[in-house]
Structure 1
Amino acid sequence: MTFTLRPGPVDVHAHWLPRELFGLPPGAPFGAITDRDGELHVGETPLSIQTRLMSDVDAIRVDMDRAGIGARVLSAPPFAFARDDLDGATDYVASFNDALARVVRDGGGAFGGFGSVTLADPDVARREIEVLAASEGIYGIAIPPVLADSSLDSEPLVSVLAAAAENDLAVLVHPMQLPSPTLAAHYLVNLLGNPVETATAIASLLLGGIAERLPDLRICFVHGGGCAPDLLGRWDHAWRARADVSRSSSTPPSEGFTRIFLDTVTHDEDAFRLLAQKAGEHRIVLGSDYPFDMADGDPVAHALSWGADEAALARAARELLGL
């Protein structure tokens, strides 16, 4: 029997992690996940969400029913990405992917999945991608926008993108909320760090010519593309004014922006309308960022009230997932 998702809106940006993997992969920058009086912590940082919401599949279903979501494509929270080539990283990735495949298989079409890969080793990642591509209901992989001192136009991430494209898997790019001394207060590591990480990755993909080199790549950036929609005019100006900006790409960034996918998590009608204007409604997919405190708790209602077309959202999701 061919695997199919349930009818209704498809949320492509939602997180899940089984409790047995709360220890996180080797080299995780924040330390392990812990449950403190029912609240989720990463290291010493409280995440302002109930612990059970991250791993309880029944709780995810309840939230989907409340929000009118037909199916959710689950991915690991970004602090569970296997960033470093350390002993145990591949075992962690395999354990997550096996557990995700079970949830998808047993979900009756309620869930799809974006698997994880061992990011530091492109050869290992390629083998993991080949396994994921053979798993029903696994539609792609989730990766961070930056890794060490590089982004999507450099190794190892560019090889991971190429392997995903070759195996007909989509790529979801999710910021890791990397620590920075200048962003330590006021939750700025999220409020500013996340959108800047995402914009960095989009600029690297477009200005680095990677989107042109990999025309079959289906790639989605969350949080409405971060601050990229506001910066496209600046990027286009630099692309025309400076040879070092345009030397790797043949089209201005604003043109390439209409070929990537972006989710609806903008938290603001004006920001959403700018995103739709810059990307086109055919490239916007529904997202929630469940279960985090920065999630859009009513993504369908918000997107439709801001002017999104439900049929266009559905078509974009199907195209991203390769359905």
Structure 2
Amino acid sequence: MITTPLADGVIDVHAHWIPRELFGLPGTGPHGEMHDRDGELYLGDLPLSIATSSMSDVSAIRADMARADVGVRVLSAPPFAFPLESGSEADAYVRAFNAALTDVVADADGALLGLGMVTLEDSTSATAQMEELAQIEGMAGVAIPPMANGRSLDGPALHHVLSEAARLDLAVLVHPMQLPRPEWSEYYLTNLIGNPVESATAVASLILSGIKDALPGLRICFVHGGGCAPGLLGRWTHGWTMRADVRRAATRPPAEAFGELYFDTVTHDPHQLKLLCELAGADKVVCGSDYPFDMAESEPARFADDHGPGRAALITAALAYLGLPEEEA
């Protein structure tokens, strides 16, 4: 719920924060424990190439916003913090993160908003958590991974979250998890290839399963420009036209539903961002940064303005994604 007037300027919908007291991640997870090592953040033995303070200290976030000409930043947990298991430990972690983020947002005078965390493998807990988020000032919705328990957005766990988000009028941000695969073990390919593939799979799942058709009011954004999805949309449309199994659940060509989704501008390529704007429409492209990661866009407002739909359109699209009227800008 957002009733406080927002600060002026570009809205960055894709940025990360987690307090130091929650560096001990829930469950086993695929990556290992997050920890500080001499001021640098590590995930197990993997260096994240960022200062610990940039992830956990609100003052560092606000300083980066001033430097990058960002008026409002929407904070969510880093993707390796998603609770992929059920149980009391996951529920407690979700409650602790959402409470801490609520406090940060409450002290920001409209410059920071939050996307909360939700338990993924317990539908009862997920519903209760989302109903609570819907009543908290400054919390705009939830951030989720593109898969849970081996299933994409059409699996029972994530489908439930999407249905509840639509019912409660909460925005959803889908962020890839950089899941390891043997063939991606070198050259940071888990990120350079894995993240875009995870995102594209989630977009295809949402469209071809018919979930977006069934939830027309769902406001959902895919980060990193939707990954590979813009480049594959034509292939999906051809498959939908030619194969009954592809179109068995979706009544419309994929391109139609694609234009009803939101995507951020973290594409690292002006040509890719232009293609995204053409396919999704300028009203569905929102500014993102991926702060504070090494794959972030360091000048998100400038890049999105120079190569995307323009500053005014970016703000209007972000307000629509967040469920706010344009006059809130």
Q: Would you identify which runs of 4 or more consecutive aligned residues in structure 1 move more than 3 Å?
A: none
By how many angstroms is 1:28 displaced? 2.5
Q: In structure 2, what is the equivalent of residue 233 of structure 1?
A: 234
Q: Give matches, 1:121-200, under 5 Å.
A: 121-200=122-201
Q: Give matches, 1:20-59, under 5 Å.
A: 20-59=21-60
Distance, in Å, in 1 between the alignment partners of 2:60 and 2:245 is 50
By how many angstroms is 1:139 displaced? 0.4
1:87 aligns with 2:88: yes
User: Would you say the 8 A contact 1:49–1:292 is kept in 2?
Assistant: yes
Number of positions where the alignment pairs a residue of Structure 1 with one of Structure 2: 323
By how many angstroms is 1:124 displaced? 0.8
By how many angstroms is 1:87 displaced? 3.4
Distance, in Å, in 1 between the alignment partners of 2:253 and 2:28 is 37
User: Would you say the 8 A contact 1:11–1:71 is kept in 2?
Assistant: yes
2:32 aligned counterpart, secondary structure: coil
Distance, in Å, in 1 between the alignment partners of 2:300 and 2:78 is 19
Q: In structure 1, what is the equivalent of residue 218 of structure 2?
A: 217
Q: Deviations over 1:42-83 (max 9, x none)?
A: 111110001110001000000000011001000000000011
2:276 aligned counterpart, secondary structure: helix
Q: Deviations over 1:217-263 (max 9, x none)?
A: 00000000000000000000000000000000010111111000000
Distance, in Å, in 2 between the alignment partners of 1:47 and 1:307 is 28
Q: Deviations over 1:245-293 (max 9, x none)?
A: 0000010111111000000000001100110111110000000000000
Q: Which moved more, 1:27-36 or 1:106-115?
A: 27-36
Distance, in Å, in 1 between the alignment partners of 2:3 and 2:220 is 24
Taking structure 1 as reference, are residues 307 and 138 closer, same or farther at Cα in structure 2, changes over 3 Å only?
closer
Q: Deviations over 1:188-213 (max 9, x none)?
A: 00000000000000000000000000
Distance, in Å, in 2 between the alignment partners of 1:2 and 1:270 is 37
Q: Which moved more, 1:64-73 or 1:79-88?
A: 79-88
1:61 aligns with 2:73: no
Listed as ranges, the gaps of 5+ residues in structure 2 are: 325-329
Identity %: 57
By how many angstroms is 1:304 displaced? 1.6
Distance, in Å, in 1 between the alignment partners of 2:308 and 2:25 is 39
By how many angstroms is 1:164 displaced? 0.8
Distance, in Å, in 1 between the alignment partners of 2:265 and 2:247 is 29
Taking structure 1 as reference, are residues 307 and 284 closer, same or farther at Cα in structure 2, changes over 3 Å only?
closer
Q: In structure 1, what is the equivalent of residue 319 of structure 2?
A: 318
Q: In structure 2, what is the equivalent of residue 261 of structure 1?
A: 262
User: Would you say the 8 A contact 2:230–2:279 is kept in 1?
Assistant: yes
Taking structure 1 as reference, are residues 158 and 195 closer, same or farther at Cα in structure 2, changes over 3 Å only?
same
1:246 aligned counterpart, secondary structure: coil
By how many angstroms is 1:2 displaced? 3.8
RMSD: 1.0
Taking structure 1 as reference, are residues 260 and 2 closer, same or farther at Cα in structure 2, changes over 3 Å only?
closer
By how many angstroms is 1:37 displaced? 1.2
By how many angstroms is 1:308 displaced? 2.3
Q: Deviations over 1:271-322 (max 9, x none)?
A: 0011011111000000000000000010111112214211111111000000
- TM-score in terms of structure 2 length: 0.97
By how many angstroms is 1:27 displaced? 2.5
2:245 aligned counterpart, secondary structure: helix
Q: In structure 2, what is the equivalent of residue 70 of structure 1?
A: 71
Q: Which moved more, 1:298-307 or 1:251-260?
A: 298-307
- TM-score in terms of structure 1 length: 0.98
Q: In structure 2, what is the equivalent of residue 206 of structure 1?
A: 207
User: Would you say the 8 A contact 1:143–1:171 is kept in 2?
Assistant: yes
By how many angstroms is 1:148 displaced? 2.4
Listed as ranges, the gaps of 5+ residues in structure 1 are: none
2:149 aligned counterpart, secondary structure: coil
